[in-house]
Amino acid sequence: MEKANHSIHCTVTSCTNHCSCEDYCSLDSIQVGTHEGNPSMDQCTDCQSFVKKHG
């Protein structure tokens, strides 16, 4: 059974690591990074622990 990590709020329900019952991640920790050379706003950052949910 998945458990919500209440320290990691997340609404990305298409991620397999999302705790489906609540708006939290189920992982103990996540990796955040950027795809930009010089990130300047939140859209420049990425959760690199994202894994697409299938089905």
Kindly list the residues in this chain that would bind ligand SF4 in the complex (CB under 6 A): 8, 10, 12, 15, 17-18, 25, 27, 30, 47, 49-50
For ligand SF4, the closer of residues 39 and 45 by Cβ is 45
For ligand SF4, the closer of residues 15 and 36 by Cβ is 15
Residue 6 CB contacts under 8 Å (≥ 6 apart), including other chains: 24
Closest CA to 50 of 21, 18, 15, 26: 15
**Shortest Å, Cβ 3 to ligand SF4:** 12
Distance (Å, rounded) from C-alpha 34 to C-alpha 40?
A: 10
